[in-house]
Amino acid sequence: MTSRLLKVKGTQLSYRDFGNTERLLTGSAVGGSFSGNLKVKGNYLHYMDNSSDQKRLLGVLTGNTGTAGKIKNKGDELYYIDHSGNERRLSTITTYYTDAASVDGEVRRSFEDGQISESFSTIRNGAGTNSDDSSSPMELRVETDVVEDKWDRIKRILMLFPTTDIPVGAVILSVGLYIHITSHADQFTQTYAINVYSSNPASDTALIAADYGTLGTTPFATEKAISTLVNGAWTSFALNAAGRAAIIKGGITKLGLREANFDAPNNTPSWQGANLAAAVSIKTSENPDSTKRPYLKVTYIT
């Protein structure tokens, strides 16, 4: 470990992660002093700040062991071995599921064949016609009408997560969104994809048709081609800086899924035949197997 990776900076402890991003940790004052500016004492990691005040940080047990006193970087995080030989991580990793206090479901603008057929721009930008927050699975979908160059269905997914216990002052290091795929299909020759975006439903606990228009267009992760998904398996999205910034500390985080190559950017796809669809179905909080609910895994430091 070099001074580039770990040093005292003002009243905080500064380290560089493996992506060379500086991260700051704030210790609690304990009084007293010791020789040197950084050491493991008991279960804590102690440092002397630039005002010669002793501060300490208590890491979270990881279940691993090692040589007492050792300090190291692993990915985006800082670890140390306490004097009992237990490894501790100086960050918190918490999983958040959709639940009764944070709705998930689908919203759509859709019509039956021959009832109404619309241009892609109209069906994308028009008002929602339906919502469903009580079924599992829920579906993202883009579908053509029987009338050439017309479309009769776009569905989007909203997911809210109760991130209420993340301290307001926390620094979020990483976020992963995990969804369990029930089924998928892409009947087009063009590539349809799925990605994560913001959402802003009128209520945290129920969806209405008007929520169709509340999803954002800034991608929060790297898109995934629908054709590459695997039925009966998990897929995950590592949120980018915009996505991490959308995590509401001490509140409800509001995310959504929409088609990423045509719906979100408002690019009109080619009409390739009647009743063709690109679709993804995922498990929801209403699924009988609660372990298959969508969830966020958030890593942060306080």
Give the tens place of pLDDT for each residue, 83-99. 999 999 888 889 999 87
Domain ranges of the chain: 6-90, 96-301
Is residue 176 within 8 Å of 234, Cβ to Cβ? no
Lowest average pLDDT, out of 74-78, 143-147, 180-184, goes to 74-78
| Residue 98 burial (C-beta neighbours within 10 Å; 0-12, 13-18, 19+) | buried
Percent of the chain beyond pLDDT 90? 63
Is residue 298 within 8 Å of 166, Cβ to Cβ? yes
Lowest average pLDDT, out of 3-12, 63-72, 89-98, 149-158, goes to 3-12
pLDDT tens digit string along 120-142? 999 999 999 999 999 899 999 99
Q: What mean pLDDT value characterizes the chain?
A: 91
φ, ψ of residue 298 in degrees (nearest 5): -115, 125
Backbone dihedral region of 67: left (phi > 0), alpha (psi from -120 to 50 degrees) or beta? beta
Q: Is the pLDDT of residue 269 over 70?
A: yes
